[in-house]
Amino acid sequence: MNTNDVSAGRLVRAPEGFLGPEGIRTVFSQARTGRRDFIRGALAAAATAASSLAAAQSNPAPSAGGDPNILNLPEHSKGLGQGVATDGYGKPSRFESNLQRRQSPGLTQTTQSSVSFAPLQSMFGIVTPSGLHFERHHQGWWDVDPSRHRLMVNGSSPGMVAKPLVFTVDEIMRLPSVSRFHFIECGANTGMEWGNVAVPTAQYSHGMLSCSEFTGVPLITLLEMAGADLKKGKFVLAEGADGSSLTRTIPLSQILSGEVLVAYGQNGEMLRPENGYPLRLVVPGAQGVSWVKYLRRIELGDKPYATKDEAVHYIDLMPDGLHRQYTSIQECKSVITTPSGGQVLLDRGYYNITGLAWSGRGKVARVDVSVDGGRNWRAARLETPVLSKCLTRFNLDWVWDGKPVILQSRASDDTGYVQPSYRQNRAVRGTRSIYHNNSIQSWLVQENGEVKNVQLS
Ligand SMILES: Nc1nc2c(c(=O)[nH]1)N[C@H]1C(S)=C(S)[C@@H](COP(=O)(O)O)O[C@H]1N2
Ligand SMILES: [Mo]
């Protein structure tokens, strides 16, 4: 084993179409099959690599010219490195240029009313770097001047709010703040899969999903400051400042708990313009459309508003022909991100099956993983922290024997809800929905190591 194994881990393949010129990162194995204690085997292999690397770096090796005093070291171990970065804001390594959010060719007619997907298959842990957060815009994004932006809090009728207020961003940032980790998932995530398998990779099947630490002020604080009547009020209308006039109804019951935030921070800095700078609503557990960006108005009322974004869009066409409205909580769901569609296993042997699980109703309680198309299930290890309405990372040890297998993950949350199969979901929902598909995902690992998106009927 030598240090070249590191680059083997970065081998890329670029299947046609969706992946762009860079392809995606594959995974690689270090230990061979046949070892009964495969974890110890993998660790031993890693230790050997480390010690031979150390030996290579400390032992003088004869140069081509035969001068034994010249060390056979890479440039970066001999010369002077670069000075502190001059651009003031760091960027990823140039070797990581394949790590990108991507658009789906042909999905939408304009990029202003479109979506970019987060590269779930190449991320670690639970936090989405802000530059890789998925985007969903109804009429393009704006870099709104925070010194001119305002947020109004008013009532639908006289008396609903005693003294309507208009806040500047500075005024909101002076108030007591909280920081919390939450996932955001577009209600249309995995929507193309209702009818059948539609896309090749986890990026496109599940990448309208991201997770950040959000910082802001509980919306209830602003309502109380404005003297809101929290007995008469039952619902809030949230309105964005972009041309789409995006508006959604949020039940006051969810706001009273203090979890709905008027956020300005994302992962330790201000929100990115694409994600709603300078203010966005954070509605933990609710589908993305309720997380209104460029938030400019909050109105307290006593009934749901039935706006275009909840009466006509984001509704579920049921088998009986009726539409289901206001299904805004994202139910428990999970996906294996490695190995996943478009990746290639380079060899049989040990792999860490890893993925993400989440629930809009609370904490992930367990994740079971099957490597035989759902016949047998093993409990995966949940990585801490396991937070409410937040992505949870799971892992499972697995040795691939080189035969075709179907990998699946099935999450349950702390309400006892279990993620359904496609068959179970279609029995209730039919096949004509777009939104709210939380079915169990299947990945087929073929004999040649290539991983494909499949569905079991
Ligand atoms: N003002 C405004 N808010 C918006 C949208 C929008 O187009 N305009 N899109 C919504 C939808 S459908 C989703 S899924 C999320 C996406 O948030 P993101 O772009 O930060 O990922 O924002 C929601 N909030
Ligand atoms: Mo969305």
pLDDT digits (tens, 9 = 90+) for 120-154: 999 999 999 999 999 999 999 999 999 999 999 99
Nearest to 18 by CA among 289, 211, 207, 189: 207
Proximal ligand: closest to the CA of 191: 2
Predicted pLDDT of residue 438: 98
Residue 413 Cβ < 6 Å to ligand 1: no
| CA 257 from centre of chain | 25
Predicted pLDDT of residue 157: 96
Residue 248 Cβ < 6 Å to ligand 1: no
Q: pLDDT band for position 419 (50/70/90)?
A: very high
Instruction: Check if the beta carbon of residue 401 is closer than 8 Å to that of residue 33.
Output: yes
Predicted pLDDT of residue 107: 86
* Test site for ligand 1: of 128, 133, 138, 144, most ligand atoms within 8 A of the Cβ: 138
Q: pLDDT band for position 457 (50/70/90)?
A: confident
State which amino acid sits at residue 378. Answer: R
Proximal ligand: closest to the CA of 246: 1
Residue 435 Cβ < 6 Å to ligand 1: no
Q: pLDDT band for position 53 (50/70/90)?
A: very low
The whole-number average pLDDT for the span 30-54 is: 41
Predicted pLDDT of residue 136: 97
Residue 291 Cβ < 6 Å to ligand 1: yes
CA atoms within 13 A on the CB side of 71: 13
> Helix or strand or coil: residue 159?
coil
Residue 134 Cβ < 6 Å to ligand 1: yes
Pairing of strands 135-136, 295-301: unpaired
> Helix or strand or coil: residue 247?
strand
Question: Which is more confident, 392 or 22?
Answer: 392
- The residue whose CA has the least distance to atom 15 of ligand 1 is 288
Q: What topology does CATH give the domain 333-454?
A: Immunoglobulin-like (2.60.40)
Predicted pLDDT of residue 70: 63
CA atoms within 13 A on the CB side of 231: 1
How far is 274 from 134, CA to CA, in rounded Å?
A: 9
Structure tokens that stand for 279 in this block: 């203010």
Instruction: Check if the beta carbon of residue 128 is closer than 8 Å to that of residue 210.
Output: yes
Q: Tell me what the pLDDT averaged over the chain comes to.
A: 88
Give 337-365 pLDDT, tens digit per residue: 999 999 999 999 999 999 999 999 999 99
Q: 28 pLDDT exceeds 70?
A: no
CATH classification number, 100-324, choose in 3.30.70.1050, 3.90.420.10, 3.60.21.10, 3.40.190.10: 3.90.420.10
Structure tokens that stand for 443 in this block: 């990945």
Q: pLDDT band for position 34 (50/70/90)?
A: very low
**Residue 25 Cα, ligand 1 centroid: separation in angstroms?**
28
The percent of the chain in helix, strand and coil, each rounded to the nearest 5, is: 20, 30, 55
Q: 68 pLDDT exceeds 70?
A: no
Residue 313 Cβ < 6 Å to ligand 1: no
**Residue 282 Cα, ligand 1 centroid: separation in angstroms?**
11
Nearest to 278 by CA among 173, 179, 180, 140: 173
Range in 34-43, 127-136, 428-437 with the lowest mean pLDDT: 34-43
Nearest to 180 by CA among 395, 438, 385, 416: 385
Instruction: Check if the beta carbon of residue 293 is closer than 8 Å to that of residue 242.
Output: yes
How far is 397 from 369, CA to CA, in rounded Å?
A: 10
Q: 181 pLDDT exceeds 60?
A: yes
Residue 393 pairs in a beta bridge with: 356
The whole-number average pLDDT for the span 292-298 is: 98
Predicted pLDDT of residue 178: 98
What are the residues whose beta carbons fall under 8 Å from the beta carbon of 148, sequence distance 6 or more? none
- DSSP 8-state secondary structure symbol assigned to residue 7: H
Q: Which atom of ligand 1 is least distant from the CA of 309?
A: 12
Question: What percent of the chain is predicted at pLDDT more than 90?
Answer: 79
Q: Which atom of ligand 1 is least distant from the CA of 272?
A: 20
How far is 256 from 318, CA to CA, in rounded Å?
A: 32
Question: Which is more confident, 140 or 20?
Answer: 140
Q: 3 pLDDT exceeds 50?
A: no
Question: Which is more confident, 203 or 29?
Answer: 203
Query: Where do the DSSP E strands lie in 2-51?
Result: 12-13, 24-25
Residue 443 pairs in a beta bridge with: 407, 453
How far is 372 from 285, CA to CA, in rounded Å?
A: 31
Residue 133 Cβ < 6 Å to ligand 1: yes
Proximal ligand: closest to the CA of 434: 2
Predicted pLDDT of residue 156: 97
Instruction: Check if the beta carbon of residue 276 is closer than 8 Å to that of residue 290.
Output: no
The whole-number average pLDDT for the span 165-194 is: 97
Residue 294 Cβ < 6 Å to ligand 1: yes
Q: Which atom of ligand 1 is least distant from the CA of 210?
A: 21
Nearest to 121 by CA among 441, 446, 456, 457: 441
- DSSP 8-state secondary structure symbol assigned to residue 436: -
Predicted pLDDT of residue 327: 87
Range in 25-39, 45-59, 394-408 with the lowest mean pLDDT: 25-39
Residue 284 Cβ < 6 Å to ligand 1: no
- The residue whose CA has the least distance to atom 21 of ligand 1 is 135
Q: pLDDT band for position 186 (50/70/90)?
A: very high
Give 75-111 pLDDT, tens digit per residue: 999 999 999 988 899 999 999 999 999 998 788 888 9
The whole-number average pLDDT for the span 408-436 is: 96
* Test site for ligand 1: of 143, 210, 289, 315, most ligand atoms within 8 A of the Cβ: 289
Q: What is the SS3 assignment for 289-304?
A: HHCCECEEEEEEECCC
Residue 336 Cβ < 6 Å to ligand 1: no
Proximal ligand: closest to the CA of 274: 1
The whole-number average pLDDT for the span 47-66 is: 48
How far is 421 from 368, CA to CA, in rounded Å?
A: 13
Residue extents of the structural domains in the chain: 2-57, 100-324, 333-454
- The residue whose CA has the least distance to atom 23 of ligand 1 is 289
Predicted pLDDT of residue 65: 54
Q: 42 pLDDT exceeds 50?
A: no
Residue 288 Cβ < 6 Å to ligand 1: yes
Give 358-410 pLDDT, tens digit per residue: 999 999 999 999 999 999 999 999 999 999 999 999 999 999 999 999 999 99
Q: 23 pLDDT exceeds 90?
A: no
Give 250-277 pLDDT, tens digit per residue: 999 999 999 999 999 999 999 999 999 9
Q: 35 pLDDT exceeds 90?
A: no
Predicted pLDDT of residue 85: 83
Question: Is the alpha carbon torsion for 218, 223, 226, 229 positive or negative?
Answer: negative
Question: What percent of the chain is predicted at pLDDT more than 70?
Answer: 85
Nearest to 176 by CA among 254, 262, 255, 251: 262
Predicted pLDDT of residue 22: 33
Predicted pLDDT of residue 105: 79
Q: Which atom of ligand 1 is least distant from the CA of 115?
A: 19
